[in-house]
Structure 1
Amino acid sequence: MGTTRRRGSTRAASGTRVRRPAAHAFEYPARYALVDLDRLPLPDHLSADEARRVASTSGPVHLLTIPKSVGYEQNPLSIYYCYDSAVQGQDGELRMCIAEVTNTPWGERVMFTFQPGSDLISKPLHVSPFMDMHSNWSIHADAPGDRLYVVISVQHQTLGDYFTAALDAKLVGQTSNSLRLATFFWLMPHKVAAWIYWEALRLWLKNVKFLDHPRYLNPSYRDEALERDLKLRASCSYLQRQKVNNQRSRTTEKTAGITNHVDGKSDENMTKRWCVWRDAQWPWS
């Protein structure tokens, strides 16, 4: 018997708002595919087994991405939704997400894990010539259903929360028809690239400063990003324990002697987030 290969097609509105150093906002329509990687592996992306190994999960892996069209691919952000295996009578639970971020025009890529719901990560990639590396990414992504919502906010050391990008998508159908898929996503990557360059031109005309890639000034910027992220995770872990401790102390005085040992884990045992980079492919390398 043959395996049915299906993609869930989504029609989405992608919006971005910049508050500083110059106010700037735009919104454009986009089409994404939600792909079951066990049924339809995609070249130049993680396989389902690779994603499961990274996420330490055992169930399905769905990839949100814009498929290649006419030999060209443009994906500023793709997301792997990694589920645990379903138990009897229940659906599998979304346990981990993997972000796949590609910068334009350099063609570099970074992949990193983040917790579904919401998570905070130290910025690991120079994604825009108008933004420096001194910020964190606050990411919110729930399990996909009939609707799909992803929000990324940039928290800068001096500018504050000055940039927000959101994807609001609606499921429009499922199909395994190759011609229908090719038609649905016809020139979608090319349109996304055109929008990116058009908005960059608009920012440049607003006299927003153009920044060099950090590799020219600090070759170890990737290692430093991982160290900052480890400190960030330790800080978030501490704050979360304090919140749980406060809740417990209000519930009963009997827990007063153990409020500093909520989960038995210390910050010293915290490991670095899984995060890998891919250098630019030809002709950008």
Structure 2
Amino acid sequence: MEALSLLASLATTLFASTLHSLILLLRLLLRFPRRPSLPGGAAAAVRLYEGRVHHSRRLPASHAFEYSVRYAPVDLDCLPLPGHLSAADARRIASTSGAVHLLTIPKRVGYEQNPLSIYYFYDSAEQGEDGHLKTCIAEVRTLYWFHRVMFTFQPGSDLVAKPLHVSPFMDMLGNWSIRADAPGDSLYVVISVQHPTLGNYFTAALHAKLVEKTSSSLRLATFFWLMPHKVAAGIYWEAIKLWLKNVKFLDHPRYQNNVSYRTEAQKRDLEIRSSCSFLQKQNMNDRRSTSADEIAEISNQHDHNGEESVEKRWCVWRDAQWPWS
């Protein structure tokens, strides 16, 4: 059933993308001297970044690749994006009141594919791209099962228990070491997997440079045309090469009767936060509001000595619709 649904999804995406591409071509041919602007005009100007993503795997088989990619950090107050957190909801989760930017590949020609999107939260005293980056939320999506997870992390350096079965060629035992900086003239994000038996065996990095700033919806459409499709095609192509190298295919935990993988990830993450002193210090400035429904999972837990409480990381899973749910 899942295979049939996937084929139907591919056919629908192909048809919709072809139709939207023809409409985009028509807009380019018939455009007027004054280019259509995004809602909000100059205030909604979007910074466009172009760079490269590099993946490197050392075990159980050596495999590396690199491809060009385009991203944009969108100011969610000026340009809300359907399917993502609103600026207000994001601020409530992160307990901030400043600017909220979402680094993502926008949906184009009827298709969206974002393995990783990042929400950047700035202090209220210094808003915008030149302000102080306070915290981040990572939104990770899977291409194979269409599930996703969102969790908070500290941008300078953080360690997170792996909460989602992203790749069918990796198990759930690793932790993610995450580093990110605030997007400026360039941006940098790196995630490495720390595994209990394989060690630091996988690294994914994004390096990109600012190429321009635009408030033109047409320019935004052409800049990201087929970018989501390229990302999806690349993921499937590299998966085929891993399979040909005899790397074991691991099905999703829920299909292996492991229904508690999320709880296990939360327990491992709590152990990480309890053992890392710098994370304990950050907890003092990282209190979450419990008014929103999505934050109901937050609770205070005690360490082994019962002397200090350590707050759980905000983490929310969202399942795909049937038949993957």
* Same fold per superposition (TM over 0.5): yes
Query: Are the aligned partners of 2:41 and 2:215 in contact in 1 as well (CA < 8 Å)?
Result: no
Q: Find out whether 1:156 has 2:195 as its counterpart.
A: yes
How far did 1:102 drift?
Answer: 0.1
Amino acid at match of 2:55: T
Amino acid at match of 1:195: G
In the alignment, what sits opposite 2:258?
Answer: 218
- 1:38 is aligned, of 77, 88, 93, to 77
Q: Which runs of 5+ in 1 are unaligned?
A: 242-265
Relative to structure 1, the CA distance from residue 267 to residue 281 in structure 2 (aligned partners, 3 Å threshold; closer, same or farther) is: farther
How far did 1:215 drift?
Answer: 1.1
Provide the C-alpha distance between the structure 2 equivalents of 1:284 and 1:179, rounded to a whole number of angstroms. Answer: 35
Query: Are the aligned partners of 1:35 and 1:64 in contact in 2 as well (CA < 8 Å)?
Result: yes
Query: Are the aligned partners of 1:98 and 1:114 in contact in 2 as well (CA < 8 Å)?
Result: yes
Q: Find out whether 1:191 has 2:230 as its counterpart.
A: yes
- The residue correspondences of 1:122-141 to structure 2 (distance < 5 A) are 122-141=161-180
In the alignment, what sits opposite 2:274?
Answer: 234
- The residue correspondences of 1:1-285 to structure 2 (distance < 5 A) are 4-86=43-125, 91-216=130-255, 217-237=257-277, 268-282=308-322, 284-285=324-325
Query: Are the aligned partners of 1:59 and 1:82 in contact in 2 as well (CA < 8 Å)?
Result: yes
Amino acid at match of 1:122: A
Q: Which runs of 5+ in 2 are unaligned?
A: 1-39, 282-305
Relative to structure 1, the CA distance from residue 87 to residue 96 in structure 2 (aligned partners, 3 Å threshold; closer, same or farther) is: closer
| C-alpha RMSD of matched pairs (Å) | 2.0
SS at match of 1:270: strand
Provide the C-alpha distance between the structure 2 equivalents of 1:239 and 1:30, rounded to a whole number of angstroms. Answer: 32
In the alignment, what sits opposite 2:287?
Answer: none
Relative to structure 1, the CA distance from residue 133 to residue 175 in structure 2 (aligned partners, 3 Å threshold; closer, same or farther) is: same
Provide the C-alpha distance between the structure 1 equivalents of 2:67 and 2:60, rounded to a whole number of angstroms. Answer: 22
Query: Are the aligned partners of 1:109 and 1:279 in contact in 2 as well (CA < 8 Å)?
Result: yes
Relative to structure 1, the CA distance from residue 239 to residue 28 in structure 2 (aligned partners, 3 Å threshold; closer, same or farther) is: closer
Consecutive aligned runs of 4 or more in structure 1 exceeding 6 Å deviation: 238-241
Query: Are the aligned partners of 1:234 and 1:267 in contact in 2 as well (CA < 8 Å)?
Result: no
Alignment identity in percent?
A: 73
Query: Are the aligned partners of 2:126 and 2:132 in contact in 1 as well (CA < 8 Å)?
Result: no
Relative to structure 1, the CA distance from residue 188 to residue 92 in structure 2 (aligned partners, 3 Å threshold; closer, same or farther) is: same
How far did 1:237 drift?
Answer: 2.0
Relative to structure 1, the CA distance from residue 117 to residue 42 in structure 2 (aligned partners, 3 Å threshold; closer, same or farther) is: same
Amino acid at match of 1:222: R
Provide the C-alpha distance between the structure 2 equivalents of 1:38 and 1:240, rounded to a whole number of angstroms. Answer: 31
Give the count of matched residue pairs.
260
Provide the C-alpha distance between the structure 2 equivalents of 1:11 and 1:145, rounded to a whole number of angstroms. Answer: 13
SS at match of 2:109: coil
Query: Are the aligned partners of 1:6 and 1:40 in contact in 2 as well (CA < 8 Å)?
Result: no
How far did 1:240 drift?
Answer: 8.2
SS at match of 1:116: coil
Provide the C-alpha distance between the structure 1 equivalents of 2:84 and 2:124, rounded to a whole number of angstroms. Answer: 22
SS at match of 1:169: strand
